[in-house]
Chains A and B, each alone.
Chain A
Amino acid sequence: MTRTSKLVLRTLTAGAVLAAAATSAPSSTRAADAIPQLRNGSIGYIITNLHWAGYKTPDAKAECPDGKVNPWGPREQFKVMYPDDGKRTVMDTHFAFEISSWYPDAETPDRFPFYEAKGKYSTGLNLDGKVGPNDFTSPDGEPGIDNQLFRTIGCVENYRPPEGTTTFYADKAIMEERYNRMLIELTGVDSLENDNDVTVTMYRGLDELVADATGERYVSGTTMRVDARWGKKFVQTFKGKIVGGALITEPVAFGQIPWSSFSLPTVQKFHDMRFQLRLRPDSAVGYIGGYVDVETWYWQTMKSESTHHQSNGQTTLNSLYKVLRKNADAYPDPATGRNTAISGSLEAKFVQAFIVHPPTDNKVASAQVTAAPSQERRER
């Protein structure tokens, strides 16, 4: 087992993964021929939950300065910026405030304080295999977690469940909407316990999730059709291996996943995108990580969430943009030298599904696998 694999496995025992790992089937049952979901060396999964990874405690004291979360939401900032003097127009005030979010400015210092996550811990992945000064430690002691996105949003109420509603709406979108139906299919699998060479292909699916009677969990074993027509751009392949029940893929240079929020179809784009998942015959839990494209992330939030929804948890995008750009830690713009991507991971939960390809689809025919870029290119 390589050092990276060991690190991954330790990381995968953190947080949500812990529960899955604790109930994993014994190794003896992992042989391919004992797992009916594994057919002809292939097993599929469908996404059920997807949230930005981070370490959050109920009182925020472990991760936010003095336990404080950001109090300066859009409403609060507006009140200070535009006190009612009875003279100004809606154009001068409300419109001006709204429009400024569409032309964010990373250069001008913010007049409002912004609390970043300062704690030691975060969930996520060690993307560069190193332990740096800005890295976090996973809750179970794994150092080197690269998650500057958590540093940025970790003390923003919206991203702190249960009060923060982003998690709620993200889950709701996955259940109710279609555009964001992400499937992964593992092929060339001899064992869900250990296999040195597997291929992971991502697709966009066409079918609805099937919930159990509680509505809180999803049923495995359903049939999910691949969207081979409009979902082509999401067909991406990753080479990987399974070590001790954990899937670890190599990063691809660039990946994107279908995303939907408040019925607005969009994408999330990652440099060096990779999967690290704890596999079970009926589910998979872990992380999708990489360096998140800052502009895509910002505009997805901007376009999907109204000022009201941003105000649900004091997210002022003007302020957030400045911190996003400040904390961006990879992929410098060749012209300006400023980083364009920020390290981050999504906590992902899947249930097993039988993936059905259309007759004309040769599975990965349209996929374009790109080798990971050099370490030098990733960092600045």
Chain B
Amino acid sequence: MKNVSRRRVLRGILNGTAVNVALPLLNLFLNGNGNALANGESIPLRFGTWIWGLGMNDVIFTPKKTGANFDLPEEIASLAPVQKHINLFTRFNTFKDAAPLMCHHTGWVILRTGMAPSLQQVRPGETIDVTVAKKIGSTTRFPIISATATGDVRHSYSYESENSVNAPEFSPVGFYRNLFGPDYQDPNAAEFKPDTNVMVRKSVLSGVLDETKSLQRAAGAEDRARLDEYFSSLRDLERQFDLQLTKPEPRAACLKVAEIKGEPSAGIDTTQVAQRHKVMTQLMAMALACDQTRVFNMSYAGETAATTKAGYDKPHHTATHEEVTDPVLGYQPEVSWFTRRAMESWAEFVSILASVKEGDGTLLDHSLVYAMSDISYAKIHSLDNIPMFTAGRAGGRLKTGLHIQGNGDPGTRLGYTLMKVLGLDIPSWGTLSNTTSKEISEILV
């Protein structure tokens, strides 16, 4: 029995409300290879970002060998278990051009928007996750989900525009409730019952939209522009309601998520940040597996990370500027301690995505994660050689396990490459010296 749509449901009426009863996910929904649904639709591609603050110590971070089987210097030794899943990019630069160097701000803004900010107060424009979400994130409940392990809502690296920041979830309990709370529709549930609360909300929204449209006819040009922006947000909301009133597709990889009841202890000690990061990554992975979203952002630590180490008096950012470089080691040992903890969490992030079985591979195989720091050598706010990673094979479109050196090329080449891999039709990305139309071909399949 071929070509059975995964949308096949049993339909009926209950108490005057339309009810669709889903079939369980059957093998016949999948094709013979297990990498696509039987109707030919591929297992969806996901795109995510991961960021850690305050860069690295080049002498113990950058591998000497490029290409496959690159060496793992001590600062990234913890990546050994996930080396086959990642690519490391070094010796790429970011260019502020005529703008001043905005410490800890310029670097990540360039790598996520392609543009150098002109002032510290100037927020980024549209970030790469938002651009990608417009392409692949419109059919899920959440176009984008963002989380920060620091517990600080200000640590967001996702912007719709200069005036619109996507606030990250900073509480594991809150993250659970948003993703898997009362509004969650389990795609594998035997029965689907539209949420009456959502129906009421949609009804109210429809009225608001009608009213707003009539208002727009009477508005001047400037007000119409404002109303257009307002409309966009309402339409997003409407789309979300529609999705919640539609039987979701069954997802084999989607498992029941245990409720997060207790908040991890508050604080920014690295052990607390790591714990929060792990819990939120697990929730994020299952949200992807359950197709609640296809675009995700995780912040391990902010660009001026204040994470602390028990028994050491300086937070991470303070240490980068104050700790004396050890003349024998050639780097700042305490700063490196913080960087090593970040790399451990990065390895854990990749491992969690790789642990979710999906089709003939894993969730990570069908994902593409773009990771970067805000700076290279934090003590002097260096914009040259900001380290970047990717993880995942993007459904087989990307090679992994490689160390690529950029020889001073714009770091925006990586973001551009990833957007092309994800099917965005863009001739170039970035502005001024950060403009690029050159993909990093070494990682393309």
Q: In the complex, what residue of chain B is closest to A217 when comparing beta carbons?
A: B98
- Is B193 an interface position by the 8 A CB rule? no
Q: How far is the CB of B166 from the nearest CB of chain A, in Å?
A: 28
A258 at the interface (CB under 8 A from B): no
Chain B residue at minimal CB-CB distance from A69: B324
- Contact B381–A168 (Cβ < 8 Å): yes
Q: Is A165 an interface residue (CB 8 A)?
A: yes
B321 & A308 in contact (Cβ 8 Å cutoff): yes
Q: Is the CB of A213 within 8 A of B100?
A: no
Across-interface contacts of B98 in A (CB, < 8 A): 210-215
Contact of A75 among B96, B99, B322, B433 (CB under 8 A): B322
Closest to A59 in B: B327
Q: Is B325's CB under 8 angstroms from A163's CB?
A: yes
In the bound assembly, the distance between CA atoms of A23 and B269 in angstroms comes to 54
- B305-351 CB contacts (< 8 Å) to partner A: 313-314, 318, 321-322, 324-325
A308 touches B380 (CB 8 A): no
Residues B321 and A311 in contact, CB atoms below 8 Å apart: yes
Complex contact B318–A308 (CB within 8 A): yes
Is A162 positioned at the interface, with any CB of B under 8 Å from its CB?
A: yes
Note all chain B residues with C-beta closer than 8 A to A71: 324
> Interface 1/0s, chain A 66-81, versus B by CB < 8 A?
0000010101000100
A residues near B313, Cβ cutoff 8 Å: 75, 79
Q: From residue B84, how far is it (CB to closest CB) to chain A in Å? A: 37
What's the Cα separation between A201 and B381 when bound, in Å?
A: 36
Chain A residues with CB under 8 A of B95: 214-215
Of the candidates A157, A162, A175, A309, which one forms a contact with B100 in the assembled complex, judged by CB atoms under 8 Å apart?
Answer: A175
Q: Which residues of B contact A210 (CB under 8 A)?
A: 98
Q: Please determine whether A172 and B324 come into contact, CB atoms closer than 8 angstroms.
A: no
Contact between B97 and A215, CB atoms less than 8 A apart: yes
Distance, CA A175 to CA B98, complexed state (A) = 10
Question: A172: which B residues are within 8 A, CB to CB?
Answer: 100-101
B319 to chain A, nearest CB (A): 10
Of B96, B97, B100, which is in contact with the most chain A CB atoms at under 10 Å from its CB?
Answer: B100
Per a CB cutoff under 8 Å, which of B100, B321, B324, B380 touches A215? B100
In the complex, A110 has a CB within 8 A of chain B: no
A157 touches B324 (CB 8 A): yes
Residues on the A chain within 8 Å of B433, using CB? 213
Residue B379 lies at the interface, judged by CB distance under 8 Å to chain A: yes
B432 interface contact, C-beta 8 A? yes
Is there contact, CB below 8 Å, between B318 and A162?
no
Bound complex: CA A309 to CA B322 (Å): 8
Q: How far is the CB of B97 from the nearest CB of chain A, in Å? A: 5
- Give the Cβ gap from B302 to chain A, nearest Cβ, in Å: 17
Q: Within A307-324, which residues are at the interface with B (CB < 8 Å)?
A: 308-309, 311-312, 314
- Chain A: residues with Cβ within 8 Å of the partner, total of 23
Q: Which residue in chain A gives the minimum CB-CB distance to B322?
A: A311
Q: How far is the CB of B305 from chain A (nearest CB, A)?
A: 15
Report the separation of the CA atoms of residues A312 and B381 in the bound assembly, to the nearest whole angstrom. Answer: 12
Residues of A with C-beta under 8 A to B325: 163
Cα A213 to Cα B432 in complex, Å, equals 8
| Closest chain B residue, CB of each to CB of A210 | B98
Residues of chain B contacted by A75 (CB below 8 angstroms): 313-314, 322
B48 to chain A, nearest CB (A): 31
Within 8 A of B (CB), among A184-200: none
The residue in chain A whose Cβ has the minimal distance to the Cβ of B433 is A213
Using Cβ atoms and an 8 Å threshold, which residues of chain B touch A140? none
A211–B95 CA distance with the chains assembled, in angstroms: 13
Residue numbers in A under 8 Å from B380 (CB-CB): 162-163, 165, 168
Shortest beta-carbon distance from A116 to chain B in Å: 19
User: Which partner residue on chain A sits nearest B314 by CB separation?
Assistant: A75
Interface pair A73/B97, CB less than 8 Å apart: no
Contact B100 A73 (CB under 8 A): no
Residues of A within 8 A of B379 (CB): 163, 165, 312
Contact check, B322 vs A308: say whether CB atoms are below 8 A apart: yes
Q: How far is the CA of A213 from the CA of B116 in the complex (A)?
A: 12
Is A176's CB within 8 Å of the partner chain B?
A: yes
Q: Which of A280-315 contact B (CB under 8 A)?
A: 308-309, 311-312, 314
Which of A73, A162, A168 interacts with B322 by CB under 8 Å?
A73
Please, how many angstroms separate the alpha-carbon atoms of A215 and B100 in the complex?
7
B172 to chain A, nearest CB (A): 31
Closest to B382 in A: A162
Q: Which residues of B contact A215 (CB under 8 A)?
A: 95-101
Residue in B100, B318, B321, B432 whose CB lies within 8 Å of A176: B100
Q: Which residues of B contact A309 (CB under 8 A)?
A: 321
From the candidates B97, B321, B432, name the one contacting A312 in the complex (CB within 8 A).
B321
Q: Would you give the shortest CB distance from A240 to chain B, in whole angstroms?
A: 33
Q: Which residues of B contact A308 (CB under 8 A)?
A: 318, 321-322
Residues of B within 8 A of A311 (CB): 318, 321-322
Query: B321 — which chain A residues lie within 8 A by C-beta?
Result: 165, 308-309, 311-312
Interface membership of chain B positions 227-249, coded 1 if the CB is closer than 8 angstroms to chain A and 0 otherwise: 00000000000000000000000
**Other contacts beyond A215-B98, A308-B321: 16, CB < 8 A:** A75-B314, A75-B322, A157-B324, A163-B379, A165-B380, A172-B100, A211-B98, A214-B98, A215-B95, A215-B96, A215-B99, A215-B100, A308-B318, A309-B321, A311-B318, A312-B322
Q: Can you spell out 25 A-B residue pairs with CB atoms less than 8 angstroms apart?
A: A71-B324, A75-B313, A163-B379, A165-B321, A165-B380, A168-B380, A168-B381, A172-B100, A172-B101, A176-B100, A211-B97, A211-B98, A213-B97, A214-B95, A214-B98, A215-B96, A215-B97, A215-B98, A215-B99, A215-B100, A308-B318, A311-B322, A312-B321, A312-B379, A314-B324
**B contact set with A: CB distance below 8 Å:** 95-101, 313-314, 318, 321-322, 324-325, 379-381, 432-433
**Which residues of A approach B to under 8 Å, CB–CB?**
71, 73, 75, 79, 157, 162-163, 165, 168, 172, 175-176, 210-215, 308-309, 311-312, 314
